[in-house]
Amino acid sequence: MESADPDPRLAELTAEMAWLRRLARTLLRGDEAEDLAQDAFVVAAADRPDDGRPLRPWLSRVARNLARMRVRGRTRREAREHANAAAAALTSSPTPDELVQRVELQQLVASEVLRLAEPYRSTVLLHYFEELTCAEIARRLELPEGTVRRRLKVALDELRARIAERERGSGGLAVLAPIAGYAEPSKAAGSLAMGAIAMKKVVVAALVLLVLVVAFWLMRRNHGSGSTTAPASALVSGSNAPAAAGGGPLPSPQAEGTEVPAWLRQPDVKRRRIAGRVTFRGAPVAGATVELASLASESGLVTAPRRTTTSTGEFDFGVQAAMPWSVRATAPDKTGAIVDVDLREPHRAPPPDRLELQLGTCAAAMFGTVRDASGGPIVKARIVRLPEGISSVPGGLAVTSNDKGTYELCVEPRWPGFVTVDVSADGYAAIAATTIVPGRIEVDFSLVPEATIVGRVIRDDTGAPIPYAYVFVPPGPRGASGTPLRAAFTDATGHFRLDRMTAGRHLLFARAEAMSDSPRGTPAVVGVGQTSVEVEIRLAVGSTIRGTVVDHQRRPIGGARVAAVDTQGRGPLSTAVSQDDGSFVLTGVPRAEIRFTALPYDVAKPAALLVSLATHEGVILEVEPLGTVIGRVIRGGKPLPGAFIGAHGPNDQDLPRIIADANGRFEARGLRPGAWSFSAEDTRIGAFGSPPGSLQLGRGETKEITIDVAYAASIAGRVVDQNGAPVSGVTVLFRHTSANDAGQATTDIDGNYRAATMTGGGSYRPAVMRNVLASSRLRPTRGTEFPLIALADGNASVTGVMLAVQIDHLEIAGTVVDGDGAPVPDVRVVAELVPDDGEPRLPWGAPDPADTTDVDGRFSIRDLDTGTYALRARSATGVDVTLAGIRAGRRDVTLVLPAPGAIDVTVVGFKTAPEVSAVRSTTWSAPVAATLQGNVYVLRNLSPGSYIVTARTAGEAASAVVEVAAARTTRSTLTSTGSGAVAGHVREFRTGKPIEGMTCRAVPRLAADTTVIAQGDGVRTDAQGAFMIPAAPAGQIAVSCDGLSSNYSDGLRLVTLQAAQRIDVDVPVVGATEVSGVTLASIGADRDPRALVVRLIRIKPGGPAALAGLIEGDVVVTVDGVSVTELSPGGAWLLIWNRAPGTKTKLGVTRGGKLVNAELTAAEATL
């Protein structure tokens, strides 16, 4: 027999044994040191890396880790032996019956542990039998620590449920009692090894059953003779049952109830009954489940009460408190229904006791698997469908993943079928995701370990804790992925805990009884799997305002939505609804000068109110009506019920969702004067329509319109790959070749699609993209373009259009490391396919392919198409890095996350404390709010780069460009130069017509594109297009006007304002010849979005701009011979593209200080 060649790696390792023994003796003593050396040798021989790295550094880490594990194990063992010895001294010898019970109990636990499915069984065995901590298990299995904790919790929950079920009816806790008598096993029981195994089994039984004992105890306590309730002064029962008396902690969420903090309801408003019926296609649904949700139930304070419908489909929740509620109905194999009910409203149609919740068909569904970062399934993950519009009660209809992590959420087919869900699970960060569900479509989710924010809410004046305060983190921007709302109520000591948070920067807000809101928010930063330091939220004492809403004849007005806003129109700071006698009560109003709104009316008097008392009584709000549009929706001459109405005008953000009734009629109230555009859409079939032109509405004027939903042209078919296999989840776009029209769709699991809402009357060019925001198209398998599809008119329907595309299954893989080369886990890496002539965009919320790094910082983004990609890695704390020019197929990419930098800002000369924020100046990013620490505003965890830092109050502002370097703090001083006044007029550029209803504001010129504008911030133009900004920041400022984007461009004038000076400005805007939003034509170039002029970028070779001799960096100053230097970049750009393809355009550009004229022919817009 031939001998094998010696392993050179083993020989190298053997040569290091002397060095390894010396190292072991420095870590441990005596025999333990020798054992350590041998253990390290065994591990190294089995798992020695073969990547060429030096042996000693790696071997040193192995030995040190093993030493730490030995020390921890010895400490735990000694403590356990001491405890067992003490217990043995106090415990009498067990009886034979007790010994039998113990053995039976051990067998029970062992059998149930072995019945656990993987990976839960191995997690329990590693934790309890092998005595590894969650962190040690995570390192061994290469998983995030949060994933291990989650698996352990799921396993123990299942064990608890199984044993509780088996023990039900056989004494319950009595069977668990023997666990208290476990003693150290006899040393005569066997060998040392068997003794160790026996000890570990006893330990696991003790630990697992200890959890069960606690569970039984809690269950008995919560379901015993009675549950405790909050003090009557803090909580109010929402139902007609008598409220519980006495003090105590908050109600247990396990018990149904509608007890909510008293401050959530509107004072002095009678309770009203909530009842109704559930139907399906007009017929009653028996046995449906109806839930009554509130802000308190969605935050875990109480459990929402439920009812089961009767044989006639009816349900009844009795009378409830005057506050917003959400009524939700579900039934098997049907789409659920939600109706929001605000019991503060004196009149509602239909009344709150005659609701009808109409269930839908289940012909469409999103299904898939919820996994952790390692790919393991997450059991009992909750997938909540969020409402499409704005709701006072968060949350929605939910499903739960099964023991394999799979779920299915039924939805009713709609066009285009956008569905937003909140996905969460114990131990994981919740995410919000939006997808298009055209039929059945598979959507998987991957969750990362949660972060937790803890803190307390206190009074700003006394520092006393505030119980039952509502603490929340608002949802992030909606897109393919984002962060959902997270909220909780404080306990009796003012403490709160927000779990399932995403790691990173957050702004916390709070509301509480008799306290004014925290409008600026309190920043908090927390890492993956970490709990924040205690955050302190301070609330100022607010005031109560009691008053009456009347018209000019002093007649009471009911149903007005009264709100307090600040002097700049920002808010609301507090809201109420006036009753039939006109009365209202606002609570928690800040003690400052405020204004009132009372939609759907305009407040004529008072102009403002200085709030200074604890209670202001007898405040009279005199209101006058705003505009109203009464409409009718038809299709084919017949009423179209259920159509969604789109209203676009000066205050469209103030309007509730408008839906046509059963007769196709609708009413839009509370419309401010100005230009309004209306449209209607039938989402069931994919049809739309709108009246020609815009509607000019005067103050208090009522007009009637009819909307003919005439356009329902559609194209249906299937998308397949080069092998004929269906392609699911891609976007199919059909663009009219000579008109402002396009239709889009998403393919289902079988590759089927239906693009609708097209006007027809021409040819449409198909394109297939990975997602709706993608900048590149998938290549046809034959040729470079798909054949054109003709649609004769608005009712044309073409089916069977097969689109075959080239689908590649390439991969980009690599590692994310920090500046020292250490791997960074839990980093989101996104890949964007960049066109050959394009630049990375990486738009926020785009459904681009992505992956999250594991514990070794590794990522792998699969199923990519051929091409060049840009990668962006963003850490949990918000630090990011972008790397472009990566070809699909590379597996050796290294992304280096820089160390974060910081900015310390000192403000000088401001009359009141400003809000300070920073935003990247070179790329779009969300603004970062500064935290005031002493006299310095601090901004932490910033990616290196250039930032625009702005300090702003109602009438003062200052900005500066600050460079942030890695691992350094940059200091900046922002000095107010006072304020002045700006008066002006807004007019249409070509006709000179005054534009009513625009909203104008003044900001520092440096921050013109980066200032975040709060809703309601600014002043509106009147019928003459005039506006007045009484307090504008002095210095170089930008005066911008917008708000009518459906009909006009924005306006922008750059001026210099001296302190205490008044200036007059003329702000021209450009009217759109058709509804804007879809490009009509292209000149083969883009404009630089970061410039305040029209600077051309991305000149397309062979395009109109290139053929006309235009080059990168040219600045457009004239269009068709007319100067556009007084227009905003958006206005000048609208003049260029808002025309049909084939139109000749003359552009004058500046280049190197010289004027260059060019004539080009606009081409058909492309993707």
Q: Mean pLDDT for each consecutive 10-residue tract of the chain (1167 residues)?
A: 48 66 67 73 64 60 69 58 52 62 69 78 78 76 71 77 61 36 35 34 40 39 38 48 34 48 93 97 96 94 94 96 96 94 94 96 93 86 88 91 95 86 93 90 90 95 95 75 87 95 89 86 84 93 97 96 84 91 96 93 94 96 96 96 93 90 95 92 93 88 96 97 95 88 93 95 94 85 95 96 95 95 89 77 70 89 91 86 93 95 95 89 76 89 91 88 94 94 95 92 76 63 92 91 88 93 96 57 85 89 92 95 94 87 90 94 71
pLDDT for 1054 equals 92
CA max distance for the chain: 114
Give me 779's structure tokens: 């290549």
- CATH superfamily, region 266-361: Carboxypeptidase-like, regulatory domain (2.60.40.1120)
Bridge pairing between strands 324-330 and 337-342 = antiparallel
Write the DSSP assignment of 464-488 as a string of letters.
-B-TT-EEEE-----SSSB---EEE
- Domain extents in the chain: 8-221, 266-361, 451-539, 543-625, 627-708, 713-804, 810-896, 901-975, 979-1069, 1081-1164
Q: Evaluate whether 597 touches 626 at the Cβ level (below 8 Å).
A: no
Q: What pLDDT sits at residue 1163?
A: 82
Topology of domain 810-896, CATH:
Immunoglobulin-like (2.60.40)
| Contacts of residue 655, Cβ cutoff 8 Å, sequence gap at least 6 | 647, 668, 670, 671
Integer Cα distance of 180 and 182 in angstroms: 6
**Which amino acid type is present at position 1151?**
R
What's residue 159's pLDDT? Answer: 77
The total number of residues written for the chain in this structure: 1167
Class of domain 543-625: mainly beta
pLDDT of res. 938: 92
CATH number of 1081-1164: 2.30.42.10
3-state helix, strand, coil in the chain (%, to 5): 15, 40, 40
CATH superfamily of 979-1069: Transthyretin/hydroxyisourate hydrolase domain (2.60.40.180)
Structure tokens that stand for 598 in this block: 């009372």
- Contact between 443 and 431 (Cβ < 8 Å): no
Interatomic CA distance for residues 182 and 203, integer angstroms: 9
How much is the pLDDT for 751? 96
Instruction: Tell me the CA distances in angstroms from 318 to 258, 271, 273, 891, one per residue in order.
Output: 11, 10, 5, 63
Of 273, 257, 355, the C-alpha closest to 319 is 273
- pLDDT, residue 483, reads 81
Fold of 713-804: Immunoglobulin-like (2.60.40)
Cα distance between residue 645 and residue 641, in whole Å:
11
Residues 6+ apart with CB under 8 A from 122: none
* Of 936, 935, 915, nearest in space to 927 by CA: 915
> Is CATH 2.60.40.1120 the right assignment for the domain spanning 627-708?
yes
What pLDDT, on the 0 to 100 scale, is given for residue 81? 54
Strand order in the sheet with 999-1004: 1019-1020, 999-1004, 1035-1042, 1051-1057
What is the pLDDT, as a whole number, of residue 681?
95
**What is the rounded distance in angstroms from the CA atom of residue 532 to the CA atom of residue 529?**
10
Residues paired with residue 987 on neighbouring β-strands, in sequence order = 994, 1068
Q: Which CATH superfamily is domain 451-539 in?
A: Carboxypeptidase-like, regulatory domain (2.60.40.1120)
Pairwise CA distance, residues 1018 & 229, whole Å: 46
**Contact assessment for residue 318 and residue 274, using Cβ atoms and an 8 Å cutoff:** yes
Residue carrying the six token digits 């693009």: 755
What whole-number distance in Å separates Cα of residue 529 and Cα of residue 147? 10
Considering just the CA atoms, what is the radius of gyration of the chain in Å? 33
Confirm whether 266-361 and 713-804 share one CATH topology: yes
Give 992: exposed, middle or buried? Use CB within 10 Å, 0-12, 13-18, 19+. exposed
Residue-by-residue DSSP string for 861-928: EEEEPSSEEEEEEE-TTS-EEEEEEEETT---EEEEPPPPEEEEEEEES-SSPPEEEEEESSS----E
Q: What is the CATH number of domain 901-975?
A: 2.60.40.1120
